[in-house]
Amino acid sequence: MTQIQQTPRTTLKRLPKRGSHERETINQILDEGFICHIGFVIDGQPFVIPTGYARVDDQLIVHGSQASRMLRALKTGIDMCVTVTLIDGLVLARSAFHHSMNYRSVVIFGRATLIENREDKIAALFALSEHIIRDRWADVREPNEVELQQTTVLSLTLAEASAKIRTGPPLDDEEDYAMNVWAGVLPLRMTTDSPIADPRLPDDIDLPPYITDYTRHK
C-alpha cells in the first residue's frame, strides 16, 4: 500500500501506534467526511474555519466567495493546516478518566494553489458537488460566468498528511474491571432522515434516486 512520506510535522508523537501514513487510509477518511477545519494565521492572529471540501486524486479542493478573508489569505500561499474528523463511537469506560471516542482523523499541512483556468475550475466545482451527493450536478444549472468570477477555488496537495485512528473497547485500569458498571462502545453513524421538499416545489416532481437511495460512501 502506498505510503505518504513522513515529515517532522506529520510524525505522530502522542500514541503513534494509532497513526497511519497510508494514502488509501487517508483517502477513505477524506472521502467520507463533509467538513474540514482550516487553520491559518493572519497578522499574528490564528483562525480555524470550517468549510466544505472534496478530494480529487492527491489534491484537496476548497471553495468559497472571493470576499472570503480565509480564501483571500490562503491564495497568497501562506501556511495552512487542515483537519477532518469522523466520530465512530463513544467509548464508555469504568472510570471517568478512561472515557474516550473511536474516531478517524486526517491532518494535512501545506500551501494552497489558486485554480484559475476555467475548465479546471468547473472540474473542481463538479468534484465538490459529487462529493456531497453523487449525480446531482447533471440535474442542476451549472455556474454561470458571473458566479464563476465570484467564486475562489483552491487546491492543496496531500503530500504532507497523516491519519490517526482509534478503534476498540475502553482500556481500563486492571482493578476497575471488577466494578459493577456497564462499559463498552456506543457506535455512532451518519444517517439520513425523510427529505423535506422546498415549499415552492411543484407536486409532480419526484424524488431522484440519488436522494431516495442516498448512503455516505466510504
Examine the pLDDT at 2 and tell me if it is beyond 80.
yes
- CATH class label, 16-168: mainly beta
Q: Report the 10 Å Cβ neighbour count for 84.
A: 24
Examine the pLDDT at 27 and tell me if it is beyond 90.
yes
Contact yes or no for 125/95 (Cβ under 8 A): no
* Domain boundaries, given as residue ranges, for the chain: 16-168
The residues with which 54 forms a beta bridge, in sequence order, are 61
Q: Give the per-residue pLDDT at 66.
A: 93
The residues with which 157 forms a beta bridge, in sequence order, are 59
Q: Give the per-residue pLDDT at 116.
A: 95
Q: Give the per-residue pLDDT at 12.
A: 83
Q: Tens of pLDDT along 75-120?
A: 999 999 999 999 999 999 999 999 999 999 999 999 999 999 999 9
Q: What is the average per-residue pLDDT within 30-35?
A: 96
Residue 71: partners with Cβ closer than 8 Å, 6 or more residues away: 62, 63, 64, 65, 152, 154
Examine the pLDDT at 218 and tell me if it is beyond 60.
no
Q: Tens of pLDDT along 143-178?
A: 999 999 999 999 999 999 999 999 999 999 999 999
Examine the pLDDT at 39 and tell me if it is beyond 70.
yes
Q: Give the per-residue pLDDT at 215.
A: 87
Q: What is the average per-residue pLDDT within 11-36?
A: 93
Examine the pLDDT at 1 and tell me if it is beyond 80.
no
pTM of the model: 0.93
Q: Tens of pLDDT along 171-217?
A: 999 999 999 999 999 999 999 999 999 999 999 999 999 999 998 86
User: In degrees rounded to 5, what are phi and psi of residue 84?
Assistant: -135, 130
Q: Give the per-residue pLDDT at 15.
A: 83
